[in-house]
Amino acid sequence: MESTAVIDEQQGCAEPSTEAAVDTITGFLNSQYAELVDVVIGLLAQPSEWQGEGVWTMQQWLAWRCGVARATAMQIVDIARRAGDLPVSMAAFRRGELTLDQMTAVARRAPWWADEQICTLAKMMTVSQIRSNLRRYRFPNLGPDGREIRDEPDEPTGVTEPTGVTEPTEPTEPTGVTPEMGESGDSGESGESGAAPAAPPPPTGPTPTADTATSPDEWCSFTFGDDGVFRLSLAADFDTGHIIQSALTEARDRLFQGGQHDVDWVDALRDMSERSLDAVGDAARRSRFRTNLYLDTAGSMTDAAGCCVPDAIRRHVTCDGLLSPVFVDSGVPISVGRTQRIVPDRTRVVVERRDAHRCRVPGCTSTVWLEVHHIVHWEHDGETETWNLLMLCPHHHREHHRGRLGIRGNADLPDGADGAVEFSDRHGRRIQPSGASPTPPAGPPPAPTGEYEHPLGERLQADCLYFRPPPAHQAELNERMARDRAICSTHPDLQR
C-alpha cells in the first residue's frame, strides 16, 4: 500500500476519488440544465417560435423536443418563469451549485424577497427538506415596495368599547416558526439566515402568500407497475380527506355487516368503485368504462397495457364474465369491414389497446375523451378495420377535419415500419414521432464557474428556521406593534 501511494505521488496523477468525480459531474449537469432554462426563457417570450399543431404549452413542446419526461419539462418551465424573481438562486444554478430539483423546489415556493437567504440554505438542504420547509413556512405576501399586502383593513377589529372605538387584538411576532422536520428521514443543518438580502428587483411572477404556502397541493395519481401491481397515491385538503375517509369507513362497515369479517381498506375501496360503476344507468356509457381483459385461444390473459394477468385472477374472471369474441387473421384483428360506420365496441376495445389508450399524434399526451378516427374517411370508401382506425384526442380530431393535420398509413404496423401511420402539419411537413435529435458533443461542455457541494444530510431544526423580511416590512411591523401598545395603554381592559 505504501509503495503504491509513493508512486502515485511521484507521478502527480493520482486518480480523483469517486465522490469528487460525482460532484464534478453533478456540477456540469446543473450548469447545462441552467443553459436550457435560459433558452426556455427566450422561447417563452416568443411563442410563435414553438407553438404549432397540437403543441400549445411550453411543457408539451419541451418534452417532445428534448425527449424528457413531462415532469422534467414542467420543472424547467417553472424555473424559467420565476427566473426574474430569483436572480441570486438563478446565478447559483448557472454556476452549477444547485441541482435541477433543488432549484425547482425554490422556484415553486420561494418569495422574491427571500431569494438570497433561501439560496444559501438550499445548497445545504436535501430536496425534500426544501420542499417541506418552504411549503410550511408562513411567508408574508409582500409587494414590490417591501410592505405587506393585506386583505384586512389596517385597523384590525377586536374589542368594541362603548364609545364605538374598535380595538385590535393582541399582535403576534412574525416568527414564521414551523416545528416540522425533513420528509422521509431527510435532514439538514439547523440554521438561521444571515444578513438581509440586497434590494432585489420587483417580482415579475406570482408570490406565494401565507395561505398558499400552508394549503396542501391536491393531486391524485395511479398507475400499473411493471410487476402488475396497481398503485394509487393521493393528497387532498382537510374537507376532501374527511369525505373520502367517511366513505371508506362506511364501505368497510357495510362489508363487515354483510358477513365479510376479514375486510380491509382495499376491499372497501373496491366496493366503492364497484358501486359507482353499477350506478351508471346508460348502457353505452357503462360499456365505455368497462374493465377489459384479453383472453387468447392459448389460455393466457392480458390487460389493456399488455401485462399478463396472473392465473388466479384469470380463472376467477372467466368463471362469470362477459366475453366478446374478436377474430384475427395472421395476428391482425378482423373487424366489420364496411357493414357499419360507427365503430362497434369490440373493435374500439382492440384499437384502444393497440394505441395504449392515448392519442397517436406525436407529442400529444392526452389519455381521456379519446375518439376513434377513420384514416381513410368513410365517404372515401374507408373501412371500419383496425388498420384504418386510430385514437385521437378531440383537439387533433378537429384539426384533422379542418385540414390542419395530415394522417396516412396503416395503423396496425409498428411506428417506423414501411407504410406505418405518418402525421404531417398544415404545411405538409412530417411530424416526427419524437422531436429529440441531440447532437453528439464534440468535446466536454464548458466547466461550471462554481463548485457543487452535496447537501449536508444532517438533521434540520425547523423550529429555528427564520427568513428575515425586507427592512420596509420590518418597519411596518414595528409601527403596528407601537400602535397596538398605545391602544392597550389607554384601555386597561385590553391588558388582561
Query: Does pLDDT of 74 surpass 90?
Result: yes
**Per-residue confidence band for 282, with pLDDT thresholds at 50, 70 and 90:** confident
**Per-residue confidence band for 327, with pLDDT thresholds at 50, 70 and 90:** low
**Per-residue confidence band for 254, with pLDDT thresholds at 50, 70 and 90:** confident
Number of C-beta neighbours around residue 331 at 10 A: 6
Lowest mean pLDDT among 20-34, 290-304, 387-401: 290-304
Beta bridge partners of 5: none
2-48 pLDDT, tens digit per residue, is 444 443 444 444 455 888 889 889 999 999 999 999 999 999 999 88
- How far apart are alpha carbons 125 and 119 in whole angstroms? 10
pLDDT at 326: 62
207-243 pLDDT, tens digit per residue, is 544 444 455 678 898 887 767 788 899 998 888 999 9
**Per-residue confidence band for 262, with pLDDT thresholds at 50, 70 and 90:** confident
Largest CA distance in the chain: 94
157-170 pLDDT, tens digit per residue, is 444 443 333 344 44
Name the one residue in this structure whose C-alpha cell is 393585506: 150
Q: What average pLDDT score do residues 143-169 get? A: 55
Query: Does pLDDT of 275 surpass 80?
Result: yes
What percent of the chain has a predicted confidence (pLDDT) above 70?
73
* Helix, strand, or coil (residue 19): helix
- How far apart are alpha carbons 119 and 95 in whole angstroms? 13
| pLDDT greater at residue 301 or residue 169 | 301
- Contacts of 239 by beta carbon, 8 Å cutoff, 6+ apart: none
Query: Does pLDDT of 58 surpass 80?
Result: yes
- How far apart are alpha carbons 182 and 239 in whole angstroms? 25
In a 10 Å sphere around its CB, with 0-12 CB exposed, 13-18 middle and 19+ buried, how is residue 51 labelled?
Answer: middle
Name the one residue in this structure whose C-alpha cell is 405518418: 422
- Do residues 73 and 64 make contact, with C-beta atoms less than 8 angstroms apart? no
What average pLDDT does the structure give for the chain? 77
103: cell is 432549484
Query: Does pLDDT of 370 surpass 60?
Result: yes
**Per-residue confidence band for 173, with pLDDT thresholds at 50, 70 and 90:** very low
pLDDT at 322: 61
**65 to each of 40, 252, 389, 437, 452, how far by Cα in Å?**
12, 48, 27, 8, 28
Distance between start and end Cα atoms, the chain = 76
Helical packing angle, 18-45 and 87-94, nearest 10°: 130
**400 to each of 52, 54, 341, 362, 375, how far by Cα in Å?**
13, 11, 18, 14, 10
- Do residues 412 and 332 make contact, with C-beta atoms less than 8 angstroms apart? yes
Give the predicted TM-score (pTM) of the model: 0.54
Lowest mean pLDDT among 53-67, 183-197, 212-226: 183-197
* Helix, strand, or coil (residue 430): strand
Query: Does pLDDT of 339 surpass 90?
Result: no
